[in-house]
Structure 1
Amino acid sequence: MLDAALIKECADPSLKPAIVEQFVQAAGSDYPLAVTVKSGGRLILVPRPTTPEEALEIVRENIGGSVVRVGLTQIPAGIGLKDASELKTDLVDPCANLRMGTAMFAKILRIVARWYGSPTSEEVFPQLFDDAVHAWRTGTFEGESVFQAEDPGGGVVQTVAPTAGETESDADIVPKNSTEESDEPNSAGIRIDLSRIGGK
């Protein structure tokens, strides 16, 4: 779980703190020095770094022919750099990584929102968020490279999925009887949302 003070101080201000937390939980790492290396779609095992210098060394060794993700937000290393020697240890600094990663994710959210027609309904946000996380992981959205893409600007209506600690009124989207057991097999409500299957 991310520290609230770290989010307040370092995260992109266009994202709500709860959205920042959801983003890092969905696509990031809880270890600030985390380095993930993928080549040809396969995960390459690398030693777990214990210092920023070690993390940077692993990045430099692998950045040539692989996709290297780093830090809390698992931001792709080397975006916009011409040479691996330009990489700096702030890539794995929690605050700097959160700042860069959330700014990039906010841009991806705006790209996805524009594709959706810039919706103003809060109900669309969970789908939009999922698509943005998918774009973050793959690096593309609708055939466009999201990390190099132009920022369309504008704002995105953000909502947070209700969590266990929220009151019933916060989570009134969930039907009241959805958790009740039923003896009748044909009268039970839907328990798994299959609406996204076959969508993409």
Structure 2
Amino acid sequence: MVDATMIKECADPGVKPAIIEKFIAAAGSNDPLMVTVRSGKRVVLVPKPATPEAAMDLIRQNIGRNVVRVGVTQYPAGLGVLEAGELKPDLVDACANLRMGTALFSKVYRIVLKWYGNPTGEEAERQVFEDAVIAWQSGFFEGEAAFRTPDPGKSEADKSGNAEPKTSIAKEAEVPDVEDPSEPAEDHLPAADPNKASIRVDLSSICAK
């Protein structure tokens, strides 16, 4: 169970606790050993692991062939991993998974926030959060691989230490390098044609207030 104490001790410190709670409720799991396997749009039925060792074995069996999400944040197990032997048991450690997952989600949130033009206000933040969750679950935002997209918070000024990125959710967090592979090759295209997607909500009126 992800509670306030775990969030305080383990989550990325730049992410608001309230956002983390909503993120876990919408896209995560209360089971640190939860392994979800997908092949395209299909969920692959796999045995529920009872131990960290069993969970890691299950991940290794499917990584590279299917999309594997794991742990309390349903972190993409293939992110930054070239071979199954490189997988670390941190994936099924609740605290480590929460730290990695919230850091990566904060980057996805910043990508969505920038796309909307950095709006402010409760309604705008709700829309940005919802789209960030969808991007987290699918791995894509506006037809681009969300986990590989450069972090908009990492400007040249940020890298040189002269300024901090300013968003409504998080400061710059450590996330995998943009060149790292995120998902197996079978899932490198979004489920739907982005050119046929419906128009997103216009937040211009909110931003103008």
TM-score, structure 2 as length reference: 0.74
Distance (Å, rounded) in 1 between the aligned partners of 2:22 and 2:140 = 20
| 1:145-192 superposed Cα distances (whole Å, 9 cap, x missing partner) | 11111111123225xxxxxxxxxxxxxxxxxxxxxxxxxxxxxxxxxx
Aligned length: 161
Aligned match of 2:172:
none
Aligned match of 1:157:
168
1:120 CA drift (Å): 2.9
Aligned match of 2:19:
19
Aligned match of 2:131:
131
SS at structure 1 position matched to 2:43? strand
Higher helix share: 2
Distance (Å, rounded) in 1 between the aligned partners of 2:40 and 2:109 = 26
How large is the Cα RMSD of the aligned pairs?
1.3
Higher RCO, 1 vs 2 (CA within 8 Å, ≥6 residues apart): 2
Aligned match of 1:43:
43
1:143 CA drift (Å): 1.1
Q: Percent identity?
A: 60
Aligned match of 2:32:
32
Runs of 4+ in 1 over 6 A off after TM superposition: none
TM-score, structure 1 as length reference: 0.77
Asked which structure has the greater CA Rg, the reply is: 1
Say whether residues 1:61 and 2:61 are aligned partners: yes
**For structure 2, which runs of at least 5 residues remain unmatched after alignment?**
154-164, 170-197, 201-209
Distance (Å, rounded) in 2 between the aligned partners of 1:45 and 1:104 = 26
SS at structure 2 position matched to 1:79? coil
- Amino acid aligned to 1:155: K
**For structure 1, which runs of at least 5 residues remain unmatched after alignment?**
159-197
Contact 2:33 2:70 in 1 (8 A): yes
